[in-house]
Amino acid sequence: MRVNLSEDFKTKYKELLGDRAESLFQAIEVDSKNAFRLNPLKNNYQNVQYKLDQPIEYSKFGYFGDIDGNSIDHLSGYVYSQEPSAMYVAEVVDPKDEKVLDLCAAPGSKTTYLASLMGGSGLLVSNEINNKRARVLSSNVERMGIKNAIVINNSPKDLEGSFEGYFDKILVDAPCSGEGMFRKDPESVQYWSPEYVEQCANRQKHILDSAFFMLKDGGTLVYSTCTFAPEENENNIAEFVKRHPEMEIVPIKKYSGMEDGRPEWGHDNQDLTKALRMFPDKFDGEGHFICKMIKAGVEKSAKIRTFKNQPTKIEMSYLDKFIKQNLTSNNLSEIFKVKEDLYQAATFDNRFKKLHVLRNGLKLGEFKKNRFEPSISWMLTLKPDDLKSVYELDDDQFIKYLHGESVLIENDFSNKWIGLSYQGKLFSWGRYSNKQIKNVYPKGLRK
């Protein structure tokens, strides 16, 4: 692979790294190592077709290897392709049963990892300022079967008015110049310039200041980038903690190949050694920077101002009928309507009412004339025991169904809606009628 690094880039890192710069340039010419994560939110989640013989030591769910985006493991949300260096960011955040904000969340790699670690507890707020990218984020949250996330599409500045001192933990995986990803995305090299690095650093400063405002006293802020640039990393953090002396840089556990941050690149702030860097000449992954900080003070509980838009009694009767006919139990709670769509909410906090919300929790389905129809989002959170009927497709049937075709079967089912499974993994509803499974797979997902 040939990556055409600019002379300005080479000159900059020769000055910063000295003799080591050549080994970095050589590493950028070497092919990346691919990796993927398993999804513990899924039933029997380790039952995948991919080899699990190369675990990533710093990731609870990560493995080196390639996956097929058309495989049932991917379509059903059992696996997620993610660059190995990036996997460590969510582990550093270490979210629990608490309120967590992923401030720059698209396309969803780190959000879905945070959700895996949270295990369905707490509240995960996933924000993306770009609408198109926010929709990709929402689709990944859906595919991975995440119930406790609210996906929003706002600027960090817009969020400040609603969330002063609200979040226990905030991840700022900042939009950056992407130097650390040059070998995975060689085309990005053409966008690089010293001026672009400065633009990114300036934008990151404002994002960090918004995060500080929204973080609780005693809360944790994790800042990460996929760039080598000191302007976007050590320098930004040094200036941030100077603006906000309440923030303390705290140590991060470092594994083989991970290096200390460089105080000499950040106003000689010696605490920057507690941050970490990953350079591809020393570490088996792409370039990354991670810094973890704690906000001084004693945590205070933020009061929740609630809202609800409940279904009507007749709509509830349609839902109850659907559940009795097709599911083995009713575990729903905190349901609400958006137009004709029915959701199980991740939160009813009134703070979100003025924001652009793409999804609040789990979309269950929609009310149509005299009936309720379930969504694929709901299916992707269910286990076989939750359903009265599951049909296992064979290879030919699976291909046909993905193409949007109906499937003829010999089985008789007493209920109309059945779970469709392939290789033991639920991936869609099927509408059964007279020995035929009618296709309800969303058109946007068909192959």
Catalytic site positions: 226
Q: Is 104 annotated as a binding residue?
A: yes
Please list the helix, strand and coil fractions of the chain in percent, rounded to the nearest 5, in that order: 35, 25, 40
Q: Answer yes or no: is 180 a known binding residue.
A: no
d(CA 24, CA 13): 9
Helix and strand element counts for the chain (H, E) = 12, 22
Enter the DSSP assignment of 46. Answer: T
105 assigned ligand-binding residue: yes
Whether 107 has a binding-site annotation, put simply, is: yes
Q: Is 161 annotated as a binding residue?
A: no
Question: Cβ neighbours of residue 53 under 8 Å, at least 6 residues apart?
Answer: none
Which residues neighbour 254 within 8 Å (Cβ) at sequence distance 6 or greater?
Answer: 260, 276
H/E element holding 366?
Answer: strand 362-368
Strands 167-173 and 215-225: parallel
Q: Which two tokens stand for residue 121?
A: 């507890």
Residue 109 marked in a binding site: yes
The verdict on whether residue 165 carries a ligand-binding annotation is: no
115 labeled part of a ligand binding site: no
- How far apart, in whole angstroms, are the C-alpha atoms of residue 426 and residue 412? 19
Coil, helix or strand at residue 247: strand
From the annotation, which residues make up the binding site? 104-110, 128, 173
From the annotation, which residues make up the binding site for S-adenosyl-L-methionine? 104-110, 128, 173
